[in-house]
Amino acid sequence: MRPPNIPILGELTPGTKQRHLIKLPGAALANDEPRPVISVAGAKLGPVLFVNAGVHGGEYPAVEAVIRLGKTLDPKKISGTVILMPVLNLPAFRTRTPFVCPIDNVNPNRVFPGDARGSYSEQMTHGLINEFVVHADAYVDLHGGDIPEALVPFVICRAGNDEVAKKSKAIAIAFGLPHVLAVSKPVQPGKGQSSYAAAADKGIPAVLAEAGGVGQMQEEAVSLLVNGVVNVMRHLGMIDDANFEFQISKSETKPNPNETARSAVAATKTSAADTAPSTLLPKFEWLYTKSTGVWYPKVAPGDAVREGEQIGTVGDLFGDTLEEIVSPVNGIVLFLTINPSVLEKGLLMGIGAE
């Protein structure tokens, strides 16, 4: 095992935890607020795991999970190094902007691995890949439903029979969420691709894990993501103590009363070791409305749907139905747009399909 070498962070002394404020390279990022990064360098050598959240700025449980890991992980008890960045897309986080970065109106998770001479989001993702991801042995990108989205927890990785794809799938399963998608094509067209796919192309096993949504701090979702990263660390051999106990430093807040019973039920799984194995889903179908109007879903995240089943309607402001939304596949609703106002070609839901 080689010692950790992430040049932008400087020297990482084994057995120590450090706070960094990082300026990513790129002319478009020159006036950026520096991004907080925490390095937890284990007393013993081992793999380098890079974990970030906040590629989408309104996915708060993911951001909080990275903050908690930074506060809780003890470098004396781990082998290898964990690098944690709570928020990549800081302009979106500061302005509560869903899906995109407000500086260039680009979804950063469609332009990986980025472009050093591209727009703000392209330079930002280029910096993330080249300053952090390529120096890691594994990469975990934490997400959730963005401000207008509800979802059931799931993990995505790239499908394939090559070594990187196989390692990515093993990490995805080890994470311990109810559903695992191993997909071979981008879920939405873009100039680039998603974080996990770009990392895999660079030879780094990678997954994207999602829990939480609707713009809220959901404690169950935070726990799922924190436990998922710890499960991945165990899978990678970074925790060799069979008695390793991980106490998440819980926030003082009470559970959110607005959380639905359904999302609470979906979020009770805590680790791969004590729960049923994940459902493996090879296809991810995203549904869009043709019409601008009012969205009336008839399903919730976690619901099973059948091909041909009517799963919602879009109406106009007179109350007339403009469009019936029909499931194109047999599968499980993984995420759902919860705001009634939708625009033409607007995203309605994602279905994990068998």
Q: Which spans of this chain sit near Zn ion (rule: CB under 5 A)?
A: 56, 59, 143
Supply the minimum distance, in Å, between the C-beta of residue 140 and Zn ion: 13
Tell me whether residue 143 or residue 179 sits nearer to Zn ion (CB atom): 143
Supply the minimum distance, in Å, between the C-beta of residue 326 and Zn ion: 26
Chain centroid to Cα 54, Å, comes to 8
What 3 state SS string does the chain have? CCCCCCHHHCCCCCCEEEEEEECCCCHHHCCCCCEEEEEEECCEEEEEEEEECCCCCCCHHHHHHHHHHHHHCCHHHCEEEEEEECCCCHHHHHHCCCCCECCCCECHHHCECCCCCCCHHHHHHHHHHHHCHHHCCEEEEEECCCCCEEECCEEEEECCCCHHHHHHHHHHHHHCCCEEEEECCCCCCCCCECHHHHHHHCCCCEEEEECCCCCCCCHHHHHHHHHHHHHHHHHCCCCCCCCCCCCCCCCCCCCCCCCCHHHHHHCCCCCHHHCCCCEEECEEEEEECCCCEEEEECCCCCCEECCCCEEEEEECCCCCEEEEEECCCCEEEEEEECCCEECCCCEEEEEEEC
Tell me whether residue 208 or residue 314 sits nearer to Zn ion (CB atom): 208
Supply the minimum distance, in Å, between the C-beta of residue 217 and Zn ion: 16
Supply the minimum distance, in Å, between the C-beta of residue 354 and Zn ion: 24
CA dihedral sign, ordered 272, 148, 65, 127: positive
Supply the minimum distance, in Å, between the C-beta of residue 59 and Zn ion: 5
Tell me whether residue 59 or residue 64 sits nearer to Zn ion (CB atom): 59
Supply the minimum distance, in Å, between the C-beta of residue 143 and Zn ion: 3
Tell me whether residue 48 or residue 349 sits nearer to Zn ion (CB atom): 349
172 close to 161: Cβ distance less than 8 angstroms? no
Supply the minimum distance, in Å, between the C-beta of residue 334 and Zn ion: 12
Tell me whether residue 135 or residue 143 sits nearer to Zn ion (CB atom): 143
Tell me whether residue 39 or residue 89 sits nearer to Zn ion (CB atom): 89
d(CA 75, CA 15): 5
Supply the minimum distance, in Å, between the C-beta of residue 261 and Zn ion: 24
Tell me whether residue 59 or residue 220 sits nearer to Zn ion (CB atom): 59
Tell me whether residue 48 or residue 187 sits nearer to Zn ion (CB atom): 187
